[in-house]
A = this chain, B = another copy of it.
Amino acid sequence: MRESYREELNDVVTQLVSMNSMVRTAVHDATASLLKADLRTAERVIADDARLDAMYEKIERQCFQLLARQAPVAGELRTIVAALRMVFELARMGDLAAHVAKIARLRYPEHAVPESLEANFNRMSELADEMIAAAGRVLDERDVEEAEKLAEHDEEMDELRREQFRVLLADDWSHGVEKAVDAALLGRYYERIADHAVAMAARIIYVITGEAPEGEDWPIA
């Protein structure tokens, strides 16, 4: 009985790892659709978000059942509680990727992002990808050190966001209100994706160390 319980828990973790890969793909493709004004890719990211949401519901339900069916012991409980939060963080990252793709779709055939901000958004997306990948490795390999890198990446993300504001609020901004508003919201979405990756890693540290995450703070826009 306990053996099969362990197996089911491992199955939850395996699904989280695969959901993590799907989220990386979603963020990558959403950025491609944005920077290339690629409608077909944008549509696919938006459609695929329903798959992520379904996965979220499935894993959450599985966790609820594991909690209800049998009194889990301490380490198992921590894993289930952390999994419930991680699956939420992953689903949110997927939603935010879909938000990016929706802006790409809304502005098609135009490019939502002006050339002067392309490199910035490209780097934001790369960073987000690295952060989600790192959170995935923390989860898959229980590598606590990997989690520490996330904080550095997160600082670079915040700096990229500040740079965006400098560009779009500068006197020589010539792209009008709509593109500025798009850029501000897009920047917010990438920043939040990064925040969710950090929060996800914090939950895994909790599972591994048994310590409740400390000072998991929420960077300001």
Contact = CB atoms under 8 A, between A and B. Distances in A.
Interface of A: 53, 57, 60-61, 64, 67-68, 71-72, 74, 77-78, 81, 84-85, 88, 91-92, 95, 98-99, 102, 165, 168-169, 173, 176-178, 180-181, 184-185, 188, 206, 212, 214-215, 217-218, 220-221
Contact of A185 (B71, B169, B184, B206): B184
Contacts of A185: 184-185, 188, 221
Majority secondary structure, A binding face: helix
6 contacts: A68-B74, A84-B85, A168-B181, A169-B178, A176-B177, A184-B185
A71 B68 CA distance: 11
Those 7 A-B pairs whose CB atoms lie nearest each other, nearest first: A71-B71, A181-B184, A177-B180, A95-B218, A64-B212, A67-B77, A61-B212
Contact of A67 (B81, B98, B181): B81
Nearest to A173: B177
A212 B61 CA distance: 7
Nearest to A75: B68
